[in-house]
Amino acid sequence: MKKLLITILTFTVIFLPCFADEGQLTDYSNNSNWLSKPVQNQYPADVFYIYPTVCTTQAKTNLCKVNDSQMREAAKDVIKIQAEAFDTVANIYAPFYTQYNFRAFAYSNYEKIQKDTANNFQGLSDVYSALDYYFKNLNKGRPFILVSHSQGSGIMLIVLSDYMKKHPEYYKNMVAAYVLGYPVTKEYLKENPHLKFAKKANDTGVIISYDVQSPEKSGINVLQAKNQLAINPINWKISQQLAKSKDNLGSLDERTLKITTPGIADARVNKKLGVVICSTADVDTYEIPLPELFGKGSFHGQDFQFYFLNLRKNANDRINNFIKKN
Q: Tens digit of pLDDT per residue, the chain (326 long)?
A: 444 443 333 333 333 444 444 558 999 999 999 999 999 999 999 999 999 999 988 777 789 999 999 999 999 999 999 999 999 999 999 999 999 988 777 776 666 666 677 778 999 999 999 999 999 999 999 999 999 999 999 899 999 999 999 999 999 999 999 999 999 999 999 999 999 999 999 999 999 999 999 999 999 888 888 999 999 999 999 999 999 999 999 999 999 999 999 999 999 999 999 999 999 999 999 999 988 788 999 999 999 999 999 999 999 999 999 999 99
> Domain 2-210+305-325 carries which CATH code?
3.40.50
Question: 247 in the Ramachandran plot: left (φ > 0), alpha (ψ -120 to 50) or beta?
Answer: alpha
**Number of alpha helices (DSSP H) and beta strands (DSSP E) in the chain:** 11, 14
Residue ranges of the domains in the chain? 2-210+305-325
Task: Measure the CA–CA gap between 60 and 80, rounded to whole angstroms.
Answer: 29
pTM of this structure: 0.93
What are the b/e assignments for 246-283, b being 16+ CB within 10 Å? eebbbbbebeeeeeeeebbbbbbbeeebbbbbbeebeb
